[in-house]
Amino acid sequence: MPITTRTTPSRHADRTRDEPEVVHQILDEALVCHLSFIVGGEPRVLPTLHARDGDTLYLHGSTGSRPMLAARPDGLPVCVAVTLLDGLVLARSQFNHSVNYRSAVIHGRARLVTDATEKRRALAALVDHVVAGRSQDSRPPSDRELAQTAVLALSLAEASTKVRAGGPVDQPEDLSLPHWSGVLPLRLVAGDPESGAEGVAVPLPPYLRTYRRQR
């Protein structure tokens, strides 16, 4: 991806990854992103669901939410951030403690999706992003539900990623200290599916039996 002034790192440039597939993998694995924007001169940050379709990131919200209203009619300058935490890095010194992570930051002007066909495609992508295959195993939104839901579209043209992996960086003078040093890996694990309170007459779908976030 092209490097711009907004995607040029000021620290740890060695962790930067500019391959488009790295951005795609991070966005596809993460369940939640954080959308930041300015309204009335004040900063706002909102957690929301997202889904990627090619080089477009779709963001879900209510038609009455601040970013959706602010995006009319000329779009909204935004910054979207996603972080996946892969491990806690414990060094012998407190200063050298860190985390293993994969992060993506996207800058751009988000547009409000007004075309009904694109909007339905984006909402189906959002459902499938949460659980792959779910859009074909659930009722699509009615016209009324579609009108109550808003979607922002953001190009991935200006995106940057950083990745840290590996163990702690202990200083030579700390190697003899009597403290454990290493990595505590972390991962998201799904629990057992729980049927709805109204009772479910169909068996558990196979995609829920084997559910996991890709890595």
Per residue in 97-135, pLDDT (tens digit) is 999 999 999 999 999 999 999 999 999 999 999 999 999
Note whether 106 and 154 are within 8 A (CB).
yes
User: Does the CA dihedral 12-14-18-22 come out positive or negative?
Assistant: negative
Percent of the chain scoring above 90 in pLDDT: 72
pLDDT attached to residue 167:
96
Note whether 108 and 35 are within 8 A (CB).
no
pLDDT attached to residue 5:
63
- 177 pLDDT exceeds 90? yes
Show the DSSP H helices in 47-130 as ranges: 66-70, 116-130
Q: Are strands 76-90 and 182-185 parallel, antiparallel or unpaired?
A: antiparallel
Per residue in 8-62, pLDDT (tens digit) is 665 666 656 678 899 999 999 999 999 999 988 899 999 999 999 999 999 988 7
Across 51-60, 86-95, 97-106, 195-204, least confident range: 195-204
Integer CA distances (angstroms), 157 to 16, 46, 135, 151, in order: 16, 22, 27, 19
pLDDT attached to residue 12:
60
